[in-house]
Amino acid sequence: MKRTFAAALGVATAITLVLAGCSSEEDLPEAKPFPTGPVTISLAGWSLSTTPEFKTLADGFKALHPNVTVELKEYDAANYDTQMTADLAAGTAPDVYVLKNLKNFTTYQDGGQLADVSDVASKLGNTVGGLSGYQVNGKSYAVPYRQDSWVLYYDKDLFDQAKVAYPDGSWTWDDYAKKAKELTTGLKAAGSTAVGTYQHSWQSTVQGFALAQTAGASLESGNFSYVKPYYNRVTDLQASGAQPNFGTVTTNKLTYQAQFGKQSAAMLPMGTWYIATLIKQRSTGDANKFNWGIAPAPQFDSSTTGTSKTPVTFGDPTGLGINPAISDGGKVTVAKEFLAYAAGEAAAKALAGIGITPANTSDAVAATFFALDGVPGDALSKFAWSKHDTKPENPVSKHTAGLQNVLNTLHSAVLSNSKGIDDAITAAQTQAKNEVLNQ
């Protein structure tokens, strides 16, 4: 009996080890000419019923190449990377998959799960933003098809009510903080319960701007002093009541969509993805119908403010990469053609048509986007949408995920007033040095 049990254990171990080890790196099969017969490639996506972009891309490509079918494989939005990792390791992942954020790009690239697509990337024009995020040692491993950037949403009706002038593109963060307080006082005087601004609980709402806008700031350096002025401003806004405090946001699970959409806050720093959501929620009644606009994100100092300059902000591209386990050469050619299409102007127009901010923001694409019903048509909104220097939220490195966790600890400690900013920075630097950067 005992021996049989041991044997069973041995077999189970062997099987698992084989399964774990079988996902070794492979070279792409040699590319063949574009097939003329029917061919199917698979594409990963998430929440297909509420995220139309994948179907838009698949349908658009089918219209150009009627013999190709792009089959969508649905994943869970919240667990996309975990599920994709498991599928890639098991060899069951689709031919083309989406890189939902830059943070996990390194894991895939370093793990040999992305084919070299430098030939596709080199043919894309300079209106495509976010390409550099996917380059390692001069080679491209994915191409971006959408590129959201962080901007400042504002509620014109609440501004009018508080008798505060609209943003004009000239704001630094100090101006923003001052206006948030003025708005709060003005709104209170007008009998409204709304506050000046809403900052969501994510670490990126503070750290993303700090890293992108501060000269010389670097996550990898392990020196985090650059976040200090940004946190001081936020804790001051919390204390003055100009924005809901972190504890209220987390314990009551406030959503930014409701805070801005239901007019509880006059301003909201958020990514451009929210434009499509807001327009949709206005039509379904999940958001009030009010006048709104977008302005460039407030800046570090006046050197980048004003509509004659290029405002600095952050945002991660969403890209497409090719699974190196793709089965034959014909499919390789089709998959590369699909990537070129997705990053190109035709797909960008189709994506802009459904309210998405594509990576390619040529004038023609911008025209399509602002022709949409419900998109604010003022000049500043157009400027904020199409002109910005968008830095990646995080550098592509094997330390990024670890450093993000360290800084998330700092974020919750400082905003909950559990730690002073100086102590928190010292603690984060020690933690980064001893636990992440030495790995």
Partner 1 sequence: MATTPLKRRNALVGWSFILPNFAGFAALTLAPVIVLFYVAFTSWNVFGKARWTGTANFIRMWHDASFWTALTNTLYYTSLHIPLTLSASLGLALLLNRSLRGVAFFRTAAFFPYITSMVALTYVWNMLFSPDYGPINSFLRFIGIANPPGWTTSADWSMPAVIFVGTWREMGYYMLLFLAGLQTIPAQLYEAARVDGANPWQRFLFVTLPGLRHTTFFVVVIMTIGSFKVFDLILLMTEGGPGQSTLVLSQYIYQKGFVENQFGYASAVSIVLFAICCLVTIFQYFVNRRWND
Interacting residues with partner 1 (CB under 8 A): 1, 8-9, 12-13, 15-17, 20-21, 23-25, 82, 85, 88-89, 107-108, 110-113, 245-248, 250-253, 401-402, 405, 408-410, 412-413, 415-419, 424, 430-431, 434-435, 439
Nearer to partner 1, 204 or 305 (CB): 204
Q: Reduced to 3 states, what is the DSSP secondary structure of residue 97?
A: strand
Give DSSP secondary structure letters for 306-337: STTS--EEE--EEEEEE-TT---HHHHHHHHH
Q: Shortest approach of partner 1 to residue 44 CB, angstroms? A: 16
**Residue 345 and residue 323 in contact, taking contact as beta carbons nearer than 8 Å:** no
**Residue 335 and residue 329 in contact, taking contact as beta carbons nearer than 8 Å:** no
Contacts of 357 (CB under 8 A, 6+ apart): 146, 147, 148, 149, 272, 273, 275, 351, 369, 385
Q: Shortest approach of partner 1 to residue 74 CB, angstroms? A: 21
Give DSSP secondary structure letters for 405-423: HHHHHHHHHHHTTSS-HHH
Nearer to partner 1, 126 or 438 (CB): 438
Nearer to partner 1, 5 or 284 (CB): 5
Q: Shortest approach of partner 1 to residue 82 CB, angstroms? A: 6
Nearer to partner 1, 24 or 284 (CB): 24
Q: Shortest approach of partner 1 to residue 102 CB, angstroms? A: 14
Nearer to partner 1, 264 or 386 (CB): 264
Amino acid at 360: N
**Residue 297 and residue 121 in contact, taking contact as beta carbons nearer than 8 Å:** no
What is the distance between the alpha carbons of residues 161 and 326, in angstroms, rounded to a whole number? 58
Q: Shortest approach of partner 1 to residue 39 CB, angstroms? A: 27
- Largest Cα–Cα distance of the chain, in whole Å? 84
Q: Shortest approach of partner 1 to residue 295 CB, angstroms? A: 29
Q: Shortest approach of partner 1 to residue 431 CB, angstroms? A: 7
What is the distance between the alpha carbons of residues 102 and 117, in angstroms, rounded to a whole number? 17
Q: Shortest approach of partner 1 to residue 254 CB, angstroms? A: 10
Nearer to partner 1, 9 or 63 (CB): 9
What is the distance between the alpha carbons of residues 82 and 80, in angstroms, rounded to a whole number? 6
What is the distance between the alpha carbons of residues 120 and 142, in angstroms, rounded to a whole number? 9
Across-strand partners of 152? 269, 295
What is the distance between the alpha carbons of residues 428 and 221, in angstroms, rounded to a whole number? 12
What is the distance between the alpha carbons of residues 284 and 228, in angstroms, rounded to a whole number? 40
Pick from 152, 405, 144: nearest CA to 294: 152
Q: Shortest approach of partner 1 to residue 95 CB, angstroms? A: 17
Give the CA angle between residues 303, 308, 309 to the nearest 5°: 40
The torsion region of residue 389 among left (phi > 0), alpha (psi -120 to 50) and beta comes to: beta
Nearer to partner 1, 223 or 405 (CB): 405
Nearer to partner 1, 48 or 89 (CB): 89
Nearer to partner 1, 73 or 419 (CB): 419
Nearer to partner 1, 353 or 402 (CB): 402
Q: Shortest approach of partner 1 to residue 272 CB, angstroms? A: 26
Q: Shortest approach of partner 1 to residue 428 CB, angstroms? A: 10
Nearer to partner 1, 112 or 229 (CB): 112
Number of helical H runs and strand E runs in the chain: 18, 13
DSSP state of 155: E
Give the CA angle between residues 147, 148, 153 to the nearest 5°: 160
